Amino acid sequence: MTQYFVIIADSELELIPEGIHDERSVQTNARTRGKHPGKILLDASHHHPAFGKLPESERRGRPDIVHFCLLLCLDSNLSAEGNLKVFVHTRNDDVIAVKPETRLPPHYIRFIGLIESLYEQRVVPSRENPLLELRQGVTLEALVNALKPDQVLVLEQDGAEVSPGEVLVDPKAERVVVIVGGFSKGRFKSDIRKLDPKVISFGKRQMKAWTAVSRLLCSIECSSEGAAAPDADVEPVKPPKPAKPRRAPRKKAA
Amino acid sequence: MTQYFVIIADSELELIPEGIHDERSVQTNARTRGKHPGKILLDASHHHPAFGKLPESERRGRPDIVHFCLLLCLDSNLSAEGNLKVFVHTRNDDVIAVKPETRLPPHYIRFIGLIESLYEQRVVPSRENPLLELRQGVTLEALVNALKPDQVLVLEQDGAEVSPGEVLVDPKAERVVVIVGGFSKGRFKSDIRKLDPKVISFGKRQMKAWTAVSRLLCSIECSSEGAAAPDADVEPVKPPKPAKPRRAPRKKAA
């Protein structure tokens, strides 16, 4: 049975960058939440007035995309059958490994709180039960290499168009990495060509990341391979150790 | 070209019921938001401590389900091609008609604000541009009848299991209503048997409403019918007038 690894790549998920900690919308939000700005996730909806000072501001602060894509992956048949593992890779090369048995909060605010805890503790809910684990300084390339795939698929708008019912995966591939962009605008920031991928598309229309994930899961599950009976017994895979840890020294919240 | 009508039925979306307006968690939330409790959507995540006083409390207060399902429907190829119209039907027989061109906020809090405005104004953003329209006192049966379908499909866990690639829709049907439950626990509250439906299932596993919607859209789009070129020119359909309006007299917020 093929083991799939979905990576939500170059996701627009990050803590509020230091350069805008003093901005009014950020300060107000931090006060309301009783948290230091450096421990809050950047959110285009709350912090937009401060975005003028950020490069690539038009695409940043979209943890909602990650949330929704994860909910779809975790509730898929593939995941329930133990044949799917999901990773979030972010614009800052942070990687979140998500265990398939994770019951993610469907409520956005609780999801945000959970990811903020993850950035503080590196693992949630606990070291003994690491459902979500954070590693920093892991490039997309390093993550993909660590997963040792037989095939890498990338979903991109200008990829080769997939027709309904088409089998996406090489029948001989035992380990397949599928990469979907966790952003709403622009293109991958990581150099995906380095991964020697098969670049595919579900149509010329610009679609949301969640639509791409939903089509992808459905295509795999509906192909003969994905529809096989659950019988997999696959070893868990850990994300690689960071090449150069970029973790800043912890500071007390102001 | 077949016209599809997806109804997210018996959705757990409602304003906070009067009986719990005085509960502490409700009062605190209302103060924080600067709104009267009667103008706030019930949310299991915020108001849970007050749920003990509500019947069927284990399933209520889940506007997040409606949010996700709508985001999936509105970004589907079917909708982009003009062949899908979505309605939300709630536990209280409120019906929200959603125009296909609606760009719904992906951010949960903004979605909640939008639906609360809809309950105040009956139409948003404006009468001139009614993207979302609310009618109250419309049963699921009345809504389905008003849509004059040739076929009614209902997704239910114990329905006839659909195999991958199976064509769900009668090839002669021009107007197809598909009903998905907008709740996380239990069964339909409306009597779906009255609708003479074909009851189908995507597997015995209990799946989230968004997974069901995602599988459904994918199944329709991947079948030969759904994959046809966009050429439809379908008249817009309005939800029926309420049989017995149940709207309470408007009161000033306290």
Chain B residue with CA closest to A217: the answer is B215
E strands in A79-213: 84-90, 94-98, 123-125, 130-136, 151-161, 175-181, 198-201
Residues B8, B48, single domain; the answer is: no
**Which domain does B27 fall in, by range?**
18-53
CA B104 – CA A254 distance, rounded (Å): 37
Cis check: omega of the bond before A239, within 30 degrees of 0: no
Residues A156, A35, single domain; the answer is: no
Distance from the B189 Cα atom to the nearest Cα atom in chain A, whole angstroms: 22
Query: What integer is the mean pLDDT of B32-42?
Result: 96
Sole residue written with tokens 């390339």: A141
- Which residues are CB-contacts of B11 (< 8 A; sequence separation ≥ 6)? B62, B65, B66, B88, B89, B90, B91, B182, B183
Assess: ipTM above 0.90.
no
Sole residue written with tokens 């939903």: A214
Residues A134, A173, single domain; the answer is: yes
Let me know if residue A37 belongs to a domain: yes
**Could you report the per-residue pLDDT of A237-254, keeping only the tens digit for each?**
455 555 444 444 444 443
| Sign, CA torsion A158/A164/A170/A176 | positive
Residues B148, B46, single domain; the answer is: no
CA A62 – CA A11 distance, rounded (Å): 8
pLDDT score of A27: 96
Residues B90, B141, single domain; the answer is: yes
Which chain A residues are Cβ-neighbours of B62 within 8 angstroms? 106
> What's the mean pLDDT when you consider all of chain B?
89
Chain B residue with CA closest to A80: the answer is B205
Chain B residue with CA closest to A108: the answer is B108
Residue A6: which pLDDT band, with cuts at 50, 70 and 90? very high
Choose the closest CB to A205 out of B77, B214, B219. Answer: B77
Residues B30, B107, single domain; the answer is: no
Residue A168: which pLDDT band, with cuts at 50, 70 and 90? confident
Number of separate domains in chain A: 2
**Could you report the per-residue pLDDT of A112-132, keeping only the tens digit for each?**
999 999 999 999 999 999 999
CA A241 – CA A189 distance, rounded (Å): 21
pLDDT score of B238: 54
Residue A142: which pLDDT band, with cuts at 50, 70 and 90? very high
Residue A7: which pLDDT band, with cuts at 50, 70 and 90? very high
Residues A32, A120, single domain; the answer is: no
